Chain A
Amino acid sequence: MQARYLTSTALAAAVYAIGATLAIAQAPPGMSNIDKSDPKASKQDTNLRPHPTPPLATPAEKLPVDKIKLPAGFKAEVWSSGHPGARTMARGDKGTIFMGTRVIGRVYAITEKDGKREVKVLLQGLTQPNGLAFKDGSLYVFAINRVLRYDKIEESLDKAPEPVELTATYNLPPEIHHNWKYVDFGPDGKMYVQVGANCNICEINPGVHGQIRRYNADGTGMEIVARGVRNTVGFHWHPQTKELWFTDNGRDWAGNAGPEDELNRLPKGQEGANFGFPYCHANGVADPDVKRPNPCAGVVMPAATLGPHAAGLGIKFYTGKMFPANYQNVAFVARRGSWNREQKFGYDVVIARPQGNGKARIEPFLTGLLDNQKNEFYGRPTYVLEMPDGALLVSDEQNGAVYRISYAPQRSAAR
């Protein structure tokens, strides 16, 4: 038996090898220590940086609603304001609009009374509670690294009840960056949860980061439904095919031209499919910094690209009765707008019109919040929500407001 004759040198080598394995294992699982992007290769203005989000709301009279442009017959009005950091929206059974935020750490409850909106700060002091979902009378709140369920919430909006803590059951990775959550219940009744890549561009452990997962509502039964997803902050299911569609924000510091953000479709029966990060972006663009042979092999290509650094966030398919028939089953996608791009891009809401072949065509819808000539923006649409009357709510994080988009057929004289 060879083992008998192991010399002390061989033993030392074996111990060393085990030691080396341990040293790697001690590093956070699968994470690169450092962003792999090459500052010099991007040829971008090195002073590009994220735009600040004001923690105080814009006064109602200064809201940029007059700048909003829509197709003929559509109208925008201020629906609510005075709630800084306005982002995600989830509607309760009794009509409360719950609103999640990022840096300001609040969850708002917006109710309607006599045709006016009342805004309450329902929760505060949370770490980026962007993930909200409502089911069976309970509000699920996903902050970074914290999952809370508030039962019978609409019966106690003045003082939120003690939550049921689901953090341990969901057991989400502790990394912070790209881990503000987007969540929603799917048609299968499961809770779908985003887990972003904790970097701009780096190698990730596909078993941990860069995923969409689904769970039973109580946090058990985790399954990975999509991998190689850099940072999705919005998803929804096609009303007819029930397939999952999701936005995914492309990497930064690889040039002003992209790679473009993605609008992805998870084809039925392909749960667990790979969407390319970090090796393959957009419509098959190989990453310039993190390389491997055949980077796009086996990668599901997007249904559409959403433009360079556009920051596509919220998406909802429209099934309401108010808008014209050709808006049935099209998706509205809010694009918060670029930072890592010299000429600003996005700051709008677009339509993604499914083409029947798994692809979608992108068309403009809500524009006017970006002045291309001045290279300035006036608002940042983040999420959309269809109301029971068929109107569309659009949240504006920059101004702490929600706009209501409605449609009324035009009389021929007005044309």
Chain B
Amino acid sequence: MKRVPYLAPPAFALAALVLSALIGAGAPAFAQTMLFKDRVEQCAACHGADGNSTIENIPSLAGQPEFFVMNQLVLMREGVRPVEQMLPFVKDLTDPEIMALAAYFGMRTPRLEGTKPDPALAQRGQALSERLRCGSCHNQDFSGDQQMPRIAKQRIDYMAAAMRDYRDNKRKGADTAMSAVVFGLSDADIDALAHYAASK
């Protein structure tokens, strides 16, 4: 997917048309339900004004691959990945709004928030990561690609919780490959991986 630069709200209606023509729409309506600026503010309330979350267990969106954000928002809207806190926001998101939000957050600069990585843990995480081949999907620099999220500079608490959910079959609507990768890992392994990813 090509990167779409941030578009000011007045330009958005046109952009939405262009995007929908490029990507096509699924079942949902085309209508824009609120100003794009207000949509961004909705997201920013939890995910950070610049897409870097300062709230525990809320992931940062800054610098995420556009496809990743687009895909996850669609899956949340579908109910495939039900995230309670997100339901009120995603239920009437249109495809063009999703595309624009994904593009907007993709352009923000990622910055690590929350717990700082522990060097010894990160080192252990690096060895594990090489064995588990995290970089094959998430990119060697962990910047993410297409459906695979950026994990570099992501919040440690969020990543550790997400990996535990994958391991314990609590993460719904996920790519099954992640379930296989974290299968049988201990909490300590997971913490080490989270510290390493955050440190990149």
Contact = CB atoms under 8 A, between A and B. Distances in A.
B180 interface: yes
Interface string A191-204: 00000001110000
Given A35-B132, A52-B67, A52-B147, A103 B80 contact: yes
B26 A56 contact: yes
B131 interface: yes
A400 B26 CA distance: 10
A56 B74 contact: yes
Contacts of A106: 78
B112 to A, nearest CB: 24
Contacts of B90: none
A206 B181 CA distance: 21
A156 interface: no
Contacts of A39: 130-131, 133
Contact of B183 (A46, A52, A198): A198
Given A47-B136, A55-B71, A105-B80, A176 B176 contact: yes
Interface in B68-114: 70-71, 74-75, 78-80, 82, 95
Interface in A242-287: 253
A29 to B, nearest CB: 12
B126 interface: no
Interface string B46-77: 00000000000000000000010011001100
Interface stretch (B35-43, B137-145, B154-162): B137-145
B4 interface: no
B46 to A, nearest CB: 23
Given A46-B133, A55-B26, A177 B78 contact: no
A226 B177 CA distance: 24
Contacts, number: 119
Interface in A72-122: 82, 84, 103-106, 121
Interface residues of A, number: 47
A27 B185 CA distance: 11
A48 B95 contact: no
B176 A62 contact: no
A50 B70 CA distance: 17
A124 B132 CA distance: 32
A341 B147 CA distance: 19
Contact of B136 (A31, A48, A198): A48
Chain B interface residue number, banded: 35 or more
B23 A105 contact: no
A46 B139 CA distance: 9
B184 A46 contact: no
B141 to A, nearest CB: 11
A121 B28 CA distance: 11
A35 B147 CA distance: 22
A137 to B, nearest CB: 27
Given A48-B136, A199-B183, A128 B26 contact: no
B74 A35 contact: no
A162 to B, nearest CB: 17
A180 interface: yes
A56 B145 contact: no
A62 B20 CA distance: 13
B173 interface: yes
B108 to A, nearest CB: 21
A125 interface: yes
Interface in B157-200: 169, 172-177, 179-181, 183-185
Interface in A123-139: 124-128
B24 A58 contact: yes
B25 interface: yes
B148 interface: yes
A17 to B, nearest CB: 23
A28 interface: yes
Given A176-B169, A180-B176, A199-B180, A49 B136 contact: yes
B27 interface: yes
A324 interface: no
Most chain B beta-carbon neighbours within 10 Å: one of A32, A50, A53: A50
Contacts of B79: 105, 124-125
A279 to B, nearest CB: 19
Interface string A206-225: 00000000000000000000
Nearest to A44: B136
Contacts of B70: 55
Interface of A: 27-28, 31-35, 39, 46-59, 62, 82, 84, 103-106, 121, 124-128, 144, 174-180, 198-200, 253
25 contacts: A33-B184, A34-B131, A34-B132, A34-B184, A46-B136, A46-B140, A49-B136, A49-B148, A50-B177, A55-B78, A56-B25, A57-B26, A58-B24, A59-B24, A103-B80, A104-B75, A104-B78, A105-B75, A125-B78, A126-B80, A144-B176, A176-B169, A176-B180, A177-B177, A253-B133
Interface of B: 21, 23-27, 67, 70-71, 74-75, 78-80, 82, 95, 130-133, 135-137, 139-140, 145-148, 169, 172-177, 179-181, 183-185
Given A47-B139, A174-B169, A176-B179, 5 more contacts: A34-B183, A50-B147, A56-B25, A57-B24, A200-B180
